[in-house]
Structure formats: C-alpha cells, structure tokens
C-alpha cells in the first residue's frame, strides 16, 4: 500500500507530543565537545577520552548500555576498538537501529567536526529525545568505532566496527529482530544537501524522503542519488533493511572532507535540527501499523 504524503503529515501533527523534541543546538554543542578531544583515530588516547565521555552522557539516561570491545586486524596490525550501544527498550521484541561513527581519519590536524563529530553529537541528542518516550519497538543507538580506513578505503580497511557488530549479531540471532537501520554520517554541514544513497533499502529511503517532504525539508533531502559505502553496508549485505543518510558534498568540490578544514565553523544547528526531525519522525512512522506503509519494511 502506498503511504501518502497527506497521511504522513497527519501522523506528524498527531505525534507532536511524543517524547522530547530534538534540539539541533544541543546536538551541535555535543559535537563541539567531541571535537574538543582533537584527533580521534581508533586506538588513540583521544578516542579513549571520547568513549569515556559518551558513556558518561549515556549513563544519565534510562537505557541499557553495552560496550562491544574487540581487537581489529588492520593493515597496520591489531588495534583495540569499541562500539558503544544504548538500548531504549520496547515491548514488541523488534528493534530499530540508529547508528553513526565517532572515530576520525588517522590524519594530522584532522578533528572531524562533520566527519565523525556530527554523528556523535547527533546520536547523543537522539538518545536524550528517546529517554522517556514509550516504545513499541526497542531503539538501539550504536556509536561505531573504526569506520575510517587506517590507510586507504577498501573492503577490508574500513567499517571495522560495523562489520564486527553485524557478524556478532548475525551469529547471536539478533539481526532477525531488526526492522530497520538508519545510519547517519556527515549531517552537520551548514549547506545541507543529502542525496538518496541507492546502496540501501529503497522502501526505507522512500519513507524517509516522504517524511522530509511532509516536514518541508525537501531542499535538504534532495531527489538525486549518489552511491556511498558506509557503516550500513555490513547490515544491508546480511539482508537488513538499512539506509545511510550522508551529505557527501562538503565544501566547494567536497574540499573540506578529510582535511584540516573540517572544523566547527562549517556546521549549523539548523542542519542537525532538520536531520533530527526527520529521523525522529521516521522512527515514529516505523512504529505505525504495517498497512500504513509500503510492503517490505516490517516483519
């Protein structure tokens, strides 16, 4: 069944009182704190401080926290990494996962305000929003370590944390409980233009873009496509309905990406607000009865 824009808009209005509102300024400030730790590549002293801070923030909330620590076999040898998970329990036995990475590229003077910082700040603010909201499905927020390549991006030198967790959840049977996974990456750019990533569930992409249009955010969620590999791919490859929200047009000709220019002055609370509003409403939509959506998302 087609989920009309008018139906989505009605649910948006009806659900306005659900939980706390997403605060883009607060997400920006969480990002600023992450960036204050400096360069944060996997296994570094700075990322250990970042982990400690993330865990301290999550411990203020009513969620179950787990640490998925592992040793990644990288091109430069073994590196200790850690995924951090916060579960906000529901009643259905099903799961919605929202993820992003908190590490930065192993590169001098690269503090990753947008690339690594924005997803960290976004997820911490989303956790605050989910804190006291009643849930049908459990929502699991995952902070991935090891998204960045140690040297150069390849199938074996990238997304270490998500590959590890996808394999672990597959072995444990947890994957079968996931209704949807939404990954966020580089969503703080003041000039926000997120293109639809065809490397993902088209049904879930369609739902998110309909939500964005209903909220008046069509200029930020554009009707163009750009294929990107990211932390959602290990789950997508195992049959999970997964999408990646990423703005891969960062600076003129993408010139800020993976450079020392990726700093806080390039970000905007408005961009965090837009993506936050869309993701929160998409979670609400994913908890609606299946007959209100296209087939393919719900199990």
For residue range 242-280, list pLDDT tens digits in order. 999 999 999 999 999 999 999 999 999 999 999 999 999
Q: What's the total number of domains in the chain?
A: 1
Q: Residue 290 has what pLDDT?
A: 60
The stretch 86-104 carries a mean pLDDT of 97
For residue 295, name the pLDDT band (cuts at 50, 70, 90): very low
* Residue 223 belongs to some domain of the structure: yes
Q: Which range marks the domain in which residue 14 is found?
A: 5-292
* Residue 130 belongs to some domain of the structure: yes
* Residue 278 belongs to some domain of the structure: yes
* Residue 299 belongs to some domain of the structure: no
- Indicate if the pLDDT at residue 7 is higher than 70: no
Q: Residue 132 has what pLDDT?
A: 82
**What is the CATH classification number for the domain harbouring 111?**
3.40.630.10
For residue range 53-73, list pLDDT tens digits in order. 999 999 999 999 999 999 999
* Residue 192 belongs to some domain of the structure: yes
The residue among 175 and 9 whose pLDDT is bigger is 175
Residue 282 contacts residue 207 (beta carbons within 8 Å): yes
> SS3 letters for 105-166?
CCCCCCCCHHHHHHHHHHHHHHHHHHCCCCCCCEEEEEEECCCCCCCCCCCCCCCHHHHHHH
* Residue 239 belongs to some domain of the structure: yes
* Whole-number average pLDDT of the chain: 92
The three-class DSSP label of residue 280 is helix
* Residue 134 belongs to some domain of the structure: yes
* Residue 298 belongs to some domain of the structure: no
């Amino acid at each position: 069944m087609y989920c009309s824009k008018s139906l989505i808009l009605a649910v948006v209005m009806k659900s306005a009182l659900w939980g706390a509102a997403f605060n883009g300024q607060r997400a920006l400030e969480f990002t600023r704190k992450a960036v204050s730790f400096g360069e944060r590549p996997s296994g570094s002293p700075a990322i250990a401080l970042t982990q400690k801070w993330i865990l301290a923030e999550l411990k203020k909330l009513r969620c179950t926290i787990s640490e998925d620590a592992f040793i990644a076999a990288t091109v430069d040898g073994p590196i200790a990494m850690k995924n951090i998970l916060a579960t906000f329990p529901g009643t259905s036995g099903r799961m919605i996962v929202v993820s992003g990475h908190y590490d930065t590229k192993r590169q001098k003077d690269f503090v990753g305000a947008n690339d690594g910082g924005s997803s960290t700040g976004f997820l911490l603010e989303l956790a605050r929003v989910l804190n006291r909201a009643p849930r049908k499905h459990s929502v699991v927020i995952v902070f991935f370590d090891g998204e960045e390549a140690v040297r150069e991006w390849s199938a074996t030198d990238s997304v270490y944390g998500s590959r590890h967790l996808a394999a672990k959840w597959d072995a444990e049977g947890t994957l079968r409980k996931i209704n949807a996974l939404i990954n966020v990456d580089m969503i703080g750019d003041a000039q926000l233009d997120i293109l639809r990533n065809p490397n993902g569930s088209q049904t879930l992409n369609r739902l998110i873009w309909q939500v964005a249009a209903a909220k008046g955010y069509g200029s930020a969620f554009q009707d163009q496509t750009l294929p990107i590999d990211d932390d959602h791919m290990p789950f997508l490859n195992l049959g999970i309905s997964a999408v990646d929200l990423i703005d891969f047009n960062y600076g003129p000709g993408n010139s800020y990406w993976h450079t020392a220019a990726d700093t806080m002055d390039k970000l905007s609370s408005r961009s965090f607000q837009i993506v936050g509003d869309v993701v929160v409403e998409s979670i609400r939509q994913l908890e609606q009865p299946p007959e209100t959506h296209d087939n393919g998302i719900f199990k």
